[in-house]
Amino acid sequence: MTRWNETTIRELVTRLEAFRNRCRPTTLATVEHATRSPFHILVSCVISLRTKDEVTEAASKRLFALASSPEELAQLDEEEIARAIYPAGFYNTKARQLRQIAAILIDRFDGKVPALRDALLGLPGVGRKTANLVLGMGFQIPAICVDTHVHRISNRLGLVTTSNPVQTEQALMRLLPKDLWIPINDLLVTFGQNQCHPTSPRCSTCPIVDLCERHGVTRSR
């Protein structure tokens, strides 16, 4: 059983970083590196919900080619946005939300993405996961974005014992050094997409198997 303390956590992160270096970068990391723009990160994150990463990447590129600012996005009609982001999941709903977000940013926030969690949570289609991601990746404000990968893998590892993402976020905030709050999302998303899959994780080739308690894992490869 792993005793999670700063030493073992940093060992875990070192190995996850080495693993990530061998993988295709996630769409959101690509957008972050390419643009350093909270607006682009927010838009890609909205597109990414319930959507495969490769689809999010292509959809984001098509939309940003048409509109790379709230002002330009607000000029598009919903059908144009929907066509650009298709086949992202719920593309019609997201098109409506993205247009509303652009209008709200222009009307209330001087055309800028607010760097406040409550203000972000007031935007259509933006939940805690997206708000934290924008704070972290967009503004470098420490926040832990807990998506399905972070929640699942944190529990399997035994880092946390929780039943929902909000509990996981709170438990990870207590456990992780603050400098790891932002990077842990991309590390675990990459790991979840490529190794620690939801239904059948690849435990036989896992680079962190000696650290993992494999809680709840009943089937693996």
**Residues lying near ligand SF4 in the complex (CB under 6 A):** 156-157, 195-196, 201-203, 206, 208-209, 212, 214, 217, 220
CB of residue 192 to ligand SF4, shortest distance in Å: 8
Whichever of 165 and 201 has its CB closer to ligand SF4, that residue is 201
Q: What is the DSSP letter of 138?
A: I
Contact (Cβ atoms closer than 8 angstroms) between residue 2 and residue 169: no
Whichever of 99 and 152 has its CB closer to ligand SF4, that residue is 152
Nearest-10 crossing angle of helices 6-20, 183-194: 60
Whichever of 123 and 208 has its CB closer to ligand SF4, that residue is 208
Whichever of 50 and 219 has its CB closer to ligand SF4, that residue is 219
Handedness of CA 207, 195, 47, 127 (dihedral sign): negative
Q: What does the alpha-carbon distance between residue 79 and residue 98 come to, in Å, rounded to a whole number? A: 12
CB of residue 197 to ligand SF4, shortest distance in Å: 8
Nearest-10 crossing angle of helices 27-35, 38-48: 160
CB of residue 35 to ligand SF4, shortest distance in Å: 31
| CA-to-CA dists, residue 217 to 156, 158, 163, 208, angstroms | 7, 12, 15, 15
Active site residue 118: no
Of the residues 53, 107, 110, 129, which is catalytic? 129
Active site residue 61: no
CB of residue 188 to ligand SF4, shortest distance in Å: 10
Of the residues 53, 61, 112, 147, which is catalytic? 147
Which residue type does 196 have?
A: C
Catalytic residues: 129, 147
